Amino acid sequence: MKKKPPPSPRLAAVRVMDPDLAKKDQDLLERAEAHPRSFSEGEMSVWWATAPRLVRPGAGVVGLAGGAWLTGEVEWYKPSTHDGGANLTDVTGRTMQGIFDTLHAALTYAWPIGAGALVLAATVFATDAATRNKSARRLAELRGRCVQPAALNDDARTLLARTQQAKKAVLTSAVHRFDLIDRQRNEVSLPRQEWEVAEALREYTRLVKAEPSNPKGGKVAALLDTRRRALRASLDGITRRVEALESYAEQVAQADDRYRELQQIQALTDGSDDVLNFLARTVRDDLAVAEIEGMTGEAAAVADAFTTALESAKEAAVIALPTRTTAA
């Protein structure tokens, strides 16, 4: 059977994670993939991550404290030394002094509250920065345990796509789902095979990209030729592994076809009683035909009797009627 050519690796290949990764590490890699900007900065100083976010709130707290001090220092009203009671200036002074006293009292209470809120915000921002730094450090450690298709060259992406298609074909087969083949082994072994292939292809791509694009001198060219033969041999080994996975997937597909064929045969066998019951109706149909034919004969005899009677009635009517004479 001629094998179909593999589809474009750019469309088929997807990233592969080390199956031994803990669930939380897999989730972290998925978040980094889904939101790359949130994880692109890497680790940074907690101070420099926190300080810019506190500039405006800090300026506000300083402003409140300065306002409290300033309103406490301003003295708008001094008791008048003149006799004759309070004048307009005294009334205005008392009013302004009252306003500033009220404002001073409000600011005196406000700026400590603002300072407490600033400290709380600084704690929250610093904790958030420390958490992001921790995630960034862990993410840097996990980068090597995830292979992205973009990190592979064309040959490697093609092989990875073929590996993933073979794996999917096995894990979505009916014989796998119904545990007619070793389901547990497939679910453990196939992700491991996929990861080892992806890891080897990434290393192959790295070594290929490390080659000089414009070799100088015969010795460099000879060394490069030897290196390329070694890499090609390694890639051939990976290819044989992928082909073995494809052969396994093809055998599973054939088992799937035989399983579905058997299901259809069983369905037809189980339905044989219905066929026999339906066939029994043929006997009843034959009896019904005979009965209907008898009824048809009776109806024909009645029709013949009516025809005879009708002819007799016509003849009697002709005899009974007087003969019309022609006037002279």
Judging by DSSP bridges, how do beta strands 146-147 and 16-17 pair with one another?
antiparallel
* Range of weakest confidence among 38-52, 62-76, 125-139: 38-52
Of residues 224 and 321, the one with the higher pLDDT is 224
Predicted confidence band of residue 167 (pLDDT cuts 50, 70, 90) = very high
Look up tokens 């420099």; give the residue.
Answer: 48
Say what the pLDDT of residue 73 is.
Answer: 63
* SS3 state at 16: strand
Q: What is the pLDDT of residue 246?
A: 92
Lowest mean pLDDT among 9-23, 78-92, 151-165, 217-231: 78-92
| CA gap 301, 289 in Å, rounded | 18
Mean pLDDT of 135-156: 84
Q: 147 φ, ψ to 5°?
A: -110, 120
What pLDDT sits at residue 232?
92
Residue type, 56: R
Q: Residue 54 has what pLDDT?
A: 66
Between 121 and 1, the more confident residue is 121
pLDDT greater at residue 228 or residue 285 = 228
9: nearest Cα among 148, 216, 191, 177: 148
Region for residue 292 given its phi and psi (left: phi exceeds 0; alpha: psi -120 to 50; beta: otherwise):
alpha
Contacts (Cβ under 8 Å, ≥6 apart) of 196: none
Taking a C-beta distance cutoff of 8 angstroms, is the pair 6, 18 a contact?
Answer: no
Copy the structure tokens of residue 280.
């029994």
Please state the rounded mean pLDDT for residues 180-191.
90
Average pLDDT over residues 242-258: 91
The pLDDT tens digits of the residues spanning 271-293 come to 667 766 676 666 666 666 776 66
Residues in the chain: 328
Check pLDDT > 80 for residue 146.
Answer: yes
Q: How far is CA 25 from the centre of its chain?
A: 18
Model confidence band, residue 1 (pLDDT cutoffs 50, 70, 90): very low
> Residues of 264-285 as b/e, b for ≥16 C-beta within 10 angstroms?
eeeeeeeeeeeeeeeeeeeeee
For residue 145, the 8-state DSSP code is G
* pLDDT attached to residue 313: 72
pLDDT at 12 over 80: no
Average pLDDT over residues 139-161: 88
Instruction: Copy the structure tokens of residue 131.
Output: 């958490």
Q: Does the structure show a pLDDT above 60 at 174?
A: yes
What pLDDT shows up at residue 48?
59
**Whether 170 contacts 253, CB under 8 Å:** no
> pLDDT value at position 84?
47
pLDDT of res. 165:
94
DSSP 246-297: HHHHHHHHHHHHHHHHHHHHHHHHHTHHHHHHHHHHHHHHHHHHHHHHHHHH
The greatest distance separating any two alpha carbons of the chain, rounded to the nearest whole angstrom, comes to 171
- Arithmetic mean of pLDDT over the chain: 76
pLDDT of residue 153: 92
Specify the amino acid at residue 166: A
Percent of the chain with pLDDT over 90: 23
pLDDT in tens, 56-105: 776 776 776 777 676 666 555 555 555 444 555 566 666 766 676 777 67
At 16, give phi and psi (nearest 5°): -125, 130
Residue 40's φ and ψ, nearest 5 degrees, are -80, -20
Evaluate if residue 172 carries a pLDDT over 50.
Answer: yes
> Are the CB atoms for 224 and 215 separated by under 8 Å?
yes
- pTM, two decimals, is 0.59
Q: Which of 37-46, 107-116, 209-218 has the lowest mean pLDDT?
A: 37-46
Mean pLDDT for 20-35 is 82
What is the helix (H) or strand (E) element at residue 183, kind and residue range? Answer: helix 183-209
pLDDT (0 to 100) of residue 239: 94
Q: Which amino acid is at 37?
A: R
**How far is 163 from 192, CA to CA, in rounded Å?**
11
- pLDDT (mean) for 250-274: 83
The reported pLDDT for the residue numbered 283 is 62
Tally of CB atoms within 10 A around 109: 12
Place of tokens 């095979």: 193
First-last CA distance in the chain: 111
> Using the 8-state DSSP alphabet, how is residue 39 labeled?
G
